[in-house]
Amino acid sequence: MIRRVFESWYDRTIGAARDSANRMASYFTKRGNLLQVFYVVLLVGFTAGFIDAIFFPVSSQSYVIWPGTGEQTVAEAFIDFFVVAVGGGGIYLAYLSGRQTTSPRMVNFYLALSLLLVAVSLLAGIEIAIIKGYG
C-alpha cells in the first residue's frame, strides 16, 4: 500500500515535471525555435549593455551599479538584462491577452500580469537611472 501511494505521488509530481521538461525541450529543438530563442537572448543582451560592460569595464567591480554615467559593471549588465526581459515578458503577455484563442477567463489575468510586469520593469529601470545619476 505504501509503495502504491509513493508510486502514485511520484507519477503525479516527478513524472509530470519530466513530461513538461520533455515537451519544452522538444519545442525549442524543432523547426529552429532554439535559434529564435538564442537570437532574442542575444538581442536583449546587447540591449542590456553586455558589450559595454565587457570591453569598457569600470576600475572597481565591487559596485553592483556604478554611480556614474558612461560605464557599467558586469553585474549591472545582468540587472539590465533582467529588467529588459521582464518588460518584454509583460509586453508578450499583453499580446497573449488580446488573442482570440485565449480563454475568456484568462484574458483579465494575462492583462493584469502583463501590466504588473511592465510596471516592475519600468520602476526598476527608473531606479537604476537615478542611481547612475541620470535623474
Summarize pLDDT for 48-90 with one digit per residue, the tens.
777 777 777 777 767 777 777 777 777 888 888 889 889 988 9
pLDDT digit string, tens, across residues 13-50: 777 777 777 776 676 666 666 777 777 778 887 777 77
Max intra-chain CA distance, the chain: 66
| pLDDT reported for residue 122 | 93
pLDDT for residue 116 is more than 90: yes
C-alpha cell at position 5: 501511494
pLDDT for residue 103 is more than 90: no
* 89-109: average pLDDT: 82
Q: How far is the C-alpha of 124 from the C-alpha of 66, rounded, in Å?
A: 15
pLDDT for residue 102 is more than 70: no
Contact 55, 49 (CB under 8 A): no
C-alpha cell at position 17: 515535471
Amino acid found at 67? P
Residues 6+ apart with CB under 8 A from 93: 110, 111, 113, 114, 117
| pLDDT reported for residue 29 | 67
DSSP-assigned letters across all residues of 95-130: HHHT-TTS-HHHHHHHHHHHHHHHHHHHHHHHHHHH
